[in-house]
Every structure is written in C-alpha cells, then in structure tokens.
Structure 1
Amino acid sequence: MDLSQAIECASAFVFPGFLTDDASLSAERAKNEEALGVLRAAWADAPAGREPFSYDLVLSLADRNRDVCDRFGIEKLRDVSPSSLSRGLSNAELIHAVAVLQHRSDAQVAAISGPDARDLNIAWVDAPVSGMVVGIDIETTDRDPARGYIINVGLEFMTIGPKAKPHDPFAGYFGLPQMYAEKGVPLADIHKIQWSDLEGRRPFREDKQVQEALLAAMSAYPFMAHNAAFEDSWFMLHIDGYAEARKAGRVVPIDSRDICRRVDPETRTLPHEMRPASLESWARRRGTLKAGESERHLGLDDVELMLATVQAEFAARNML
C-alpha cells in the first residue's frame, strides 16, 4: 500500500456495522492497520509543519479500526502480532532521557555511552540525576493500541532527589462499548478490572478533558513508565495532540525498565525466566515490594511502586 492508497483508506466512508461476516471484518482490519503503518511513517518522516495530512486522520482511522475489531471479536486476535506497538524507545531517545535527568546535553551523554547507547550504563552513573518527573501507568484491553481501549490511568509526580516522595496522585477509569457488559472486560485476568468498575464511565477517547490534562503534565515534565514504549505507543493513538507534541520534542519519555537493565547489575546475572527487569522482580530486589506481595497491575499502584523502586535504585548506586 502506498501513501495515496493509505490516505484513501483512512478517508473512506466505511460503516463497520455493514460488515457482518468474519472474512470481511478481518480483511478490513488488515487493510486499516496497513494504512495506519504507512500514514504514521509518512507523517513522522515529514518535516514539522509540512506533513502531507493532519494527524487527526490517523486517530480517526484507529478509532474506526477498534470498532471493526470489536465486531470481529478481539479475543480472536490474541495471536495476531500488534502492528501499532513499538518494541522500544530509540537509542537517541534513551540517551536523551539520561541527558534530561542529568541536566546536560545529549552530546555529552553520547560521548560516554556511544551513539548506539552501548555504554549507557556508564553514562547513567557518571553524574547525579535530579528533577521532576511524572510517573504514568495505563491498563488496556489489548496489546495493540489500534485494537483496544485505555480503561485505567494512574499518574503521580516526584522530584528526584535524596528525600523524594511521590505527590499529587491521579487515578481514573474509562468506559468500554456496551457489548463488553456481556463479553467481559478483556485481559481482566491481568488487571482484574471488571465491568462494574467501568459501567457508566466515559471512554478515554471521548474524555477530552483528561486527555488535555495528561498531555499538559507530560509536556511540563518528562514522563516515566516501566516499558515507556508501551505508553508512548498507546498515547500516539489515543491522546489528541500527543503525536504533535512528541514530534516537537515537548514530550520526553523515560523508560524505567531500561534504567533497571542498565543500572542494576543483577539483571545481567539472574536467569531469564526470573524476568529480572520486570517491575515486580526489580521491586522485590530493592525492597519496595515485600515477600508474598505481587504487582497490582493497576495504574496508580504500579506508578507508586515504580517511582519507589527507581528512587531506591538511584540511592543504591549513589546517583542522587
């Protein structure tokens, strides 16, 4: 699919309700997601202010695709690889995160880490870290942001330093299409969120006030998340104005999972099956999650656990 075909696909007047058989719905989803990939790449590669179309076209196509996936049955897509989910932040973004928390230039950090971030572990401990961050965690109904919904958001601020404590917490739940009252909330086995938690609540994509507040917070301070590429991918298709702010450099993601992998030496010695860089495993090693306790997989609970664990790691490595 070329760019003109992708724009045509996104601009077409399609009513998913008229697609009644699985073959038609599956073909529509595949076409939508291919178009999304082409459109997002073209928009990202274009110089700022000279994009060939408004990013709203991408958001509207993603919204339409979720409706198609609902009608097809999202449970049938569990084995279909996510097409809109980034595997990780780029080396340049990982380097920039260090530079922001150390209050120096990307070039200074890259001189230590190398442009490929190979020695970013050395750069992290080369200078003290400080400054305000906003910790964020979301719970969703799918891995792919073009197929599922954000149903829970947790947010909290923290000024990194020797006596840092999180403050000003926010937790919100967001609704789903009515069909899930009978089908059940997808991925409830992970996040434990039930229909009763969401009934009557406004869907995240319709809650413009919450979107604006989240974007304002992330534009004011770097946002930290455990596997930040996940939140970043979802926000690209769920928050109005996020893609534009991200492209302009006003939004800076910091990946606490990458911090764990780079800074905690135990991640290189523990066996893979222990998932040493997972938040739960890391928190147990740093003493922020007690024996017998488990990660909650709820937005605000996980934000508080992440921030406490990051703080403990920074203190253990004399980085504050």
Structure 2
Amino acid sequence: MDLSQAIEQASAFVIPGFLSGDEALTAERRKNEEAISLLTDAWMSAPAGSEPFSFDLVRNLADRNRAICDSFGIERLRNESGTSLARRLSDEDLIRSVAVLQHRPVEEVRRSAGPQARDLNVAYVEAPVSGMICGIDLETTDRYPDRGYIVNVGMEFVKLAPKGKAERGYVAYCGLPDIYEEKGVPLSEVHHISWGDLAGKLPFRENRDLQKAILSSLETFPFMAHNAAFEDSWLMLNLDGYAEGRKAGRIIPIDTRDICRRIDPEYRTLPHDSRPATLENWARRRGTLKKDEKERHLGLEDVDLMFRTVEAEFAARNMF
C-alpha cells in the first residue's frame, strides 16, 4: 500500500455493520491498520503546515477499525500483533523530556546524552529537576489503540519536590459499545473494571468535555506516564488535537520507565525476567509500595504511585 492508496482506504465510505464473515472483516481490518500506520508516519514527518491531509482522517479510520474489531470479536485478536503501539519514545523525545525537567536547552542535553542517547543517564543527574507536571494513566480494553477503547483515565498534578504533594486528582470512566454489556469488559482481569462502572458513561471519543480538559492539561504542563509510549500511542489515535499538539511541540511526554532504567542503580543488577522496570517492582524498591501490596491498575491510583516513586528516586539521586 502506498500513500495515495492509504488515503483512499481512509476516505472510503464503509459501514462496518455491512461487512460479514471472517474473511471480509479480516481483510478490511488489515487494510485499515496498514493505512493507519502509513498515514500517521506520513503526517508526522511532513513539514508543519504542509501535511497532505488532516489528522482527523487517521482518527476517524481508527474509529472505523474499532467497529470492525467489535464485529470480528476483539478477544480473537488478543495474540495478533499490530502496529499502532510504539515500543518506546524516540531518543529525541527522551532528550527533550530531560531538558524540560531541568529547564535546560535541548542542545545542551543532547551533547551530554551523546550518540543514540547512550549517556542520557548522565544528563538526568547533571542538573536539578523542578516544575509542575501532569501525570496521566489510561486503562484500556486492548493493547493496540486502533482496536480497543479507553475505559478509565486518571490524572494528577504535582510540583516536583522531595515531598511534592499531589493536587487536583481527577478520574473518569468511559463507556463501551452495548455489545460489551453481555460480553464483558475486555482485560477486566487486569484493571477489574466492570460493565457496572461504565454503564451510561459516554465513550471517550464522544466525550468532548473530557477531551478538551485532557488536551488543555497536556498542552499546559509536560506529562509523565510509566511507559509513556503507551499513553502517547493511545492519545494519538483517540484524543482530538493531541497529534497536532505533539507535532508542534506543545505536548511533551516524560517516561518514568526510562527514568527508572537510566538512573536506578539496582535496575542493572536485577535479572531481566524479574521485570525490574515495572512500576510495581520499582515502587517496592523505593518503598512507596509495601512488599505485600500490588499495583492497582486503575488510572488515578497508578498515577499517584508513579509520582511518589519517581520523587523518591529523584530524592535518592540528589536530583532536586
């Protein structure tokens, strides 16, 4: 598929409910997902102001693809890989996040980080961190943002300090198509969100007030998330205006998982299969989660745990 074919696929008038049979649904889904990946890359790499199409085209195609997945049966796609979830933030994103935390020029941090940001661990501790940060955590029904839905959003704001106090915590639940009342909420074994939590709630894509509030927060403050590539990927295809703000540099993600991997000295001594960079295990090492406690996997609770843990790490490394 080339760019013109991807635009044609996204612009086609297709009503998912009119497709029937596994073969037709699978073929349409795969074309949609290939087009979403190609269109996203083309739009993000185009010079600002010279994009060949509005990013609404991509978000709308992702909406259509979710309906296809619902018809096919999202549970049947659980082990099939997709392309809409980034594995990590780019080196440039990580360098920029350090610069924002330390209020330093990006070029200065880039010089310290070196080629492929190999020495970013050095840059992290070269200057003190400070400022107001927005924390966000999303709970979803799938791994891939062009297949599933956002069902829970947690946000908190913290002024970074040795014992920074979180303020203005916010939580929202978002509805699902009616078919999930009978089928059950996907991934409920992880986040424990049931249909009762979501019944009568507007879906995330339809909740314009929620979208405006989130976008305004993310454009006002840098945002932190543990494995921020996850939130970044989901917001790209679900939050109106996010891709535009991200490309323009108004939205700056900060990945606390990368912070853990770079500056926690214990991380390098622990076996990989013990998952030392997960929020739960990192929090236990920093004493912000007791040994017999578990991560809640709910938006606001996880944001609060993340902030307490990253501040404990910053304090231990004399970064304030």
**TM-score range with shorter-chain normalisation?**
over 0.9
SS in 2 for 1:108: helix
Question: Paired residue for 2:304?
Answer: 304
Structure 1 length as normaliser, TM-score?
0.99
Aligned pairs (5 A) from 1:100-119: 100-119=100-119
**C-alpha distance after superposition, 1:83-113 (max 9, x if no partner):** 1001111111101111111111111111111
> How far off is 1:115 after superposition?
3.6
**C-alpha distance after superposition, 1:173-218 (max 9, x if no partner):** 0000000011110001100001110011000000011111101001
Amino acid in the other structure paired with 1:130? S
For 2:197 and 2:235, the matched residues in 1 are separated by: 22
Aligned pairs (5 A) from 1:257-272: 257-272=257-272
Asked if structure 2 preserves the Cα contact closer than 8 Å seen for 1:154 and 1:300, the reply is yes
Aligned pairs (5 A) from 1:1-320: 1-320=1-320
> How far off is 1:221 after superposition?
0.5
Asked if structure 2 preserves the Cα contact closer than 8 Å seen for 1:158 and 1:167, the reply is yes
Amino acid in the other structure paired with 1:232? D
Amino acid in the other structure paired with 2:315? A
For 1:163 and 1:76, the matched residues in 2 are separated by: 45
SS in 2 for 1:319: coil
Identity %: 65
Amino acid in the other structure paired with 2:142? D
**C-alpha distance after superposition, 1:106-140 (max 9, x if no partner):** 11111111141101111111111101100000000
For 1:106 and 1:55, the matched residues in 2 are separated by: 27
SS in 2 for 1:154: strand
Asked if structure 2 preserves the Cα contact closer than 8 Å seen for 1:138 and 1:152, the reply is yes
> How far off is 1:291 after superposition?
1.7
Asked if structure 1 preserves the Cα contact closer than 8 Å seen for 2:162 and 2:312, the reply is no
Amino acid in the other structure paired with 2:89? L
SS in 2 for 1:133: strand
Moved more, 141-150 or 100-109: 100-109
Asked if structure 2 preserves the Cα contact closer than 8 Å seen for 1:275 and 1:281, the reply is yes
For 2:98 and 2:83, the matched residues in 1 are separated by: 28
Query: Alignment length, in residue pairs?
Result: 320
Where does structure 1 lack aligned partners over 5 or more consecutive residues?
A: none
Amino acid in the other structure paired with 2:11? S
For 2:162 and 2:293, the matched residues in 1 are separated by: 26
**C-alpha distance after superposition, 1:51-94 (max 9, x if no partner):** 00111100110000000000000011111112100111111110
SS in 1 for 2:144: coil
> How far off is 1:147 after superposition?
0.2
Asked if structure 2 preserves the Cα contact closer than 8 Å seen for 1:92 and 1:115, the reply is no
SS in 2 for 1:265: coil
SS in 2 for 1:86: coil
Asked if structure 1 preserves the Cα contact closer than 8 Å seen for 2:288 and 2:309, the reply is yes
For 1:275 and 1:172, the matched residues in 2 are separated by: 29
> How far off is 1:163 after superposition?
3.1
For 1:72 and 1:163, the matched residues in 2 are separated by: 49
Where does structure 2 lack aligned partners over 5 or more consecutive residues?
A: none
Asked if structure 2 preserves the Cα contact closer than 8 Å seen for 1:91 and 1:115, the reply is no
**C-alpha distance after superposition, 1:149-176 (max 9, x if no partner):** 0000000000102331111000000000
**C-alpha distance after superposition, 1:34-54 (max 9, x if no partner):** 111111111111111110011
Amino acid in the other structure paired with 2:205? R
Amino acid in the other structure paired with 1:317? R
For 1:162 and 1:72, the matched residues in 2 are separated by: 50
For 1:108 and 1:236, the matched residues in 2 are separated by: 29
Asked if structure 2 preserves the Cα contact closer than 8 Å seen for 1:142 and 1:186, the reply is yes
Amino acid in the other structure paired with 2:285? R
